Amino acid sequence: MTEPLEYLSPVWSHLTEIQPDHAEGIYFYDADGNRFTDFTSGIGVINTGHCHPRVVKAIQEQSKSLVFGQMNIVIPPVAAALADKLNRITPPGIDSFFFSNSGAEAVEASVKLARQATGRRGIIVFQGSFHGRTSQTMAMTTSKYIYSNDYQPLPGAIYVAPFPYSYYYGWDDEQTTEFCLKQLNTLLQGQISPGEVAAVIIEPVLGEGGYVPAPAGFIKELRKITSRYEILLIVDEVQTGFGRTGRMFAFEHAEIEPDIIVMAKGLGSGMPISGIGANQKLMDRWKPGSHGGTYGGGSAVAAAAALATIEVLLEENLVENAAARGRQLLGLLKGLGAKYPQIGDVRGLGLMAAIEFTSEGAPDQETTKSVQKACLDRNLILLTCGTFENVIRWIPPLVVTEEQVNEAFSIFQDALNGAIQ
Ligand SMILES: Cc1ncc(COP(=O)(O)O)c(C=O)c1O
């Protein structure tokens, strides 16, 4: 292990002390040759698997000819090619793209565009959402208070509506949808007038907040309500995007078209690149020069990685694989849910699957942590999530095979038996 580590800021928490020497597919390897199964994908980043040869090659090749060309000064051809590629994988109404570096930056860009283009100020977010760690996105994040604790004051005009989290409410999807829509309508009568709302932003599957897919019926109604009031609908696809849920973007499950798509994580297979997509007419209302950044769009290497990522997703049928492996995983986890009283809920969409641990109906963080630790002891890396940190989330790379899912599941089963006896 490399020493000393004391020069790293303690602000980072570390789930493990693994120092990967190299990585391939779904595995990390340390310098001693230990192998670790990575079912975190770096929090949903490495959708194409670690060091996918085509992504690595694209990075190598691009870095020989152009590493960086600042977007306000020149136009890196590979950035234009990436926009063209994104145009092909998004709905026809989404045909203009802006690039940045991180998910938070892209969310901020979507808010700036929405506010400037509509002349309205209000932003509606959902309970349990995670949108990032900058001041604007902290103000929009309600998954846990730790993300904004000690950082007040934060930007205002943010309103929080309930997310359709059926298990939390103890209802079926229909009843939860009805309740949450009613609450949203009340918010639009009681807290802010619809005419003052620039945008509603939603994670189609709540990520950090607990891996909760929003029922398709809720998203469809949300589209209708936002359209009725000319409020922009922003989908935060930072974690759900690029095949993760078994469709290229998670909003596709609800068969709607959003006004703005926010993308990051899976876009670059690990190279820092993010972006937003919107209609050209909407983008035309974003005053030139009123937003930008040194690196966004300029990093030709990141754009090349993103271009290769999309090609790999399409040509290697990884989106279809995410759907198939997701069904397999969810089936296995549901089987466990029927056997163990500690498992309150099993849910998911594609390769975004979750087990929620409860004890007599209350969140059970202790069991969650001990199961996670038992998995780590067996070299299977899994993350937790949820406001009460009582959810284990499964986010393997989309290259995961049927056999590897079975293998990880049997490690998990063994860990579960070890941890809860
Ligand atoms: C849904 C969602 N939005 C935004 C972000 C922020 O992305 P980043 O950490 O790249 O700023 C995240 C990060 O986890 C996320 O899951």
Mean pLDDT of 256-277: 98
Mean pLDDT of the residues in the chain: 97
DSSP 69: -
Position 1 pLDDT exceeds 70: no
Mutate to test the pocket of ligand 1, among 203, 239, 276 (most ligand atoms within 8 A of CB): 239
Query: Which ligand 1 atom lies nearest to the CA of residue 237?
Result: 1
The angle subtended at Cα 206 by Cα 201 and Cα 210, nearest 5°, is 150
- The DSSP secondary structure of 180-243, one letter per residue, reads HHHHHHHHHHHTS-GGGEEEEEE-SEETTTT-EEPPHHHHHHHHHHHHHTT-EEEEE-TTTTTT
Q: Given a cut of 90, is residue 132 above it in pLDDT?
A: yes
- B/e letters for 206-224, b = 16+ CB within 10 Å, e = fewer, are bbbbbbbbbbbbbbebbbe
Give residues (CB < 6 A) around ligand 1: 43, 102-104, 107, 130-132, 203, 207-208, 236, 238-239, 264
Residues of the chain with pLDDT > 70: what percent? Answer: 100
Determine the average pLDDT of the residues in 42-48.
98
How many Å lie between the centroid of ligand 1 and the Cα of residue 137? 9
Ligand 1 atom nearest 43 alpha carbon: 14
**Nearest C-alpha neighbor of 310 from the set 83, 120, 147:** 83
Q: Which two tokens stand for residue 419?
A: 């941890």
Per-residue pLDDT at 252: 98
Dihedral (Cα; 104, 173, 221, 208), 10-degree rounding: 0
For ligand 1, pick from 101, 147, 238, 263 the residue to mutate: most ligand atoms within 8 Å of CB. Answer: 238
Q: What's the angle, vertex CA 52, arms to CA 242 and CA 60, rounded to 5?
A: 110
Residue among 47, 130, 384 to mutate when testing ligand 1 (max atoms within 8 A of CB)? 130
The closest-lying atom of ligand 1 relative to the alpha carbon of residue 104 is: 11
Beta bridge mates, 276: 98, 262
pLDDT digits over 215-255, tens only?
A: 999 999 999 999 999 999 999 999 999 999 999 999 999 99
- Whether the model clears a pTM of 0.85, i.e. scores above it, the answer is yes
Q: Which residues have CB under 8 Å from 64's CB, separation 6+?
A: none
Confidence bin at 3 (pLDDT 50/70/90): confident
Residue 5: the pLDDT is: 85
How many Å apart are CA 69 and CA 189, to the nearest integer? 48
As a whole number, mean pLDDT of residues 122-146 equals 98
Q: What pLDDT, on the 0 to 100 scale, is given for residue 9? A: 95
Give the Å distance between the CA of 85 and the centre of ligand 1: 22
Edge-first strand order for the sheet with 158-161 is 96-100, 274-278, 260-263, 232-236, 197-202, 122-126, 158-161
Neighbours of 5 (CB within 10 A): 10
For the segment 316-329, what is each residue's pLDDT rounded down to a tens digit? 999 999 999 999 99
| Mean pLDDT on 401-419 | 97
Instruction: Look at residues 393, 395, 397 and name the one whose alpha carbon lies nearest to residue 210.
Output: 393
CA-nearest residue for atom 10, ligand 1, is 103
Rounded to 10°, the helix 365-377/402-419 angle is 120
212/205 Cα distance (integer angstroms):
5
Query: Do residues 399 and 27 touch, judged by C-beta distance below 8 A?
Result: no
State what percent of residues in the chain have pLDDT above 90. Answer: 98
User: Would strands 197-202 and 122-126 be described as parallel, antiparallel, or unpaired?
Assistant: parallel
Alpha-carbon Rg for the chain in angstroms: 21
Does the structure show a pLDDT above 90 at 391?
yes
From the CA of 238, how far away is ligand 1's center (Å)?
A: 6
Question: Which carries the bigger pLDDT value, residue 361 or residue 202?
Answer: 202
Distance 99 CA to ligand 1 centre (A): 15
Rounded CA-CA distance 306/54 in Å is: 11
